[in-house]
A = this chain, B = another copy of it.
């Protein structure tokens, strides 16, 4: 009943079963040559190497030596496959309990590990745009961060807001980093400089910042800078809160 019982959900439920591993394997027909895991893994490899746009059903099937349509015996649609790719690439939740220091250090560690993920799988930012239904691993990362925030003494609503803030910052940094090497940095700043030379009077602050060296290096440590600001802000919020003592 768990696997097939509630058919009302339709494709939503089927995809969920894949994500959560709730599937009873059939016993009737021939043995499958592939598997959801292997398909997902191959898709991730393609995306890592050539970007998300290179991941097509044909491309994946060709890597196995099968036809395009054979994949649909394992995965209901490409959207579901991408969801599987996401949750697989995200992997197990980070272990923050063993991080030395206070809640700031743990959150910083969460952010750094998250960023590493986005760098290893550059397509993740693109794939996780928008409000999706989260997979088990994604929920794990959320839970890990919420646990730290709760422990620090933030009330539930602020836990939510703070997570969104932290996650947003990491995503933002990742987006800039990964975008920066798809378009060469020097090419980018060359194009910018060219236009500024012609229209510099329209952008005085930008010109001044460039002259001051603000854009010579590709943003020193954007993650750490924002992290510091952000954690400082959260700490101040905590200090000004009425009467919630630090959790433990």
Contacts and interface: CB of A to CB of B under 8 A. Distances in A.
Given A139-B203, A182-B131, A203-B140, A165 B226 contact: yes
Contacts of A168: 168-169, 171-173, 175, 226
Contacts of A125: 129
A246 interface: no
Interface residues on A, range: 35 or more
A99 interface: no
A156 B229 contact: no
A164 B159 contact: no
Contact of A176 (B20, B164, B199, B237): B164
A132 to B, nearest CB: 7
A130 B202 contact: no
A137 to B, nearest CB: 10
Interface in A198-235: 199, 202-206, 208-215, 217, 219-220, 222, 225-226, 228-234
Contacts of A230: 165, 229-230, 233
Which residue of A16, A143, A168, A222 has the most chain B CB atoms within 10 A of its CB atom? A168
A69 interface: no
Contacts of A179: 129-132
A202 B136 contact: yes
Nearest to A221: B161
Nearest to A169: B168
7 contacts: A126-B129, A136-B199, A143-B205, A155-B214, A168-B175, A169-B172, A229-B229
